[in-house]
Amino acid sequence: MKKTINRAVQEAVDEYLRMMDDEQVTDLYELVLSEMEAPLLRSVLNHTNQNQSKAAAALGLNRATLRKKLRKYRLL
């Protein structure tokens, strides 16, 4: 599973860089994190039936950090 996720991310980043062609690429790290974090949080919450404690445990976060991230992405 880890290889599948890794490959999908790499393919998406490679495609983004191809699309940017000669344009200046900046803040790519933050862009990738922000694009991945919200769907990850949504998926884990759905998997745990919206149980934030279980979602936090699955993500390896404490519940307060999870709630902060949920607010950041307006998922609360």
Instruction: Read off the pTM.
Output: 0.77
Give the model's pLDDT for residue 64: 98
- How many Å separate Cα 9 from the centre of its chain? 10
Q: Both tokens of residue 57? A: 């445990």
Q: Is the per-residue pLDDT at 2 higher than 80?
A: no
- CATH 3.30.420.40 describes domain 2-72: no
Give the model's pLDDT for residue 23: 86
Contact between residue 59 and residue 44 where contact means Cβ atoms under 8 Å apart? yes
Q: Tens digit of pLDDT for each residue in 14-72?
A: 999 999 987 888 999 998 888 899 999 999 999 999 999 999 999 999 999 999 999 99
Q: Provide the residue ranges of all domains of the chain, joining segments of one domain with +.
A: 2-72
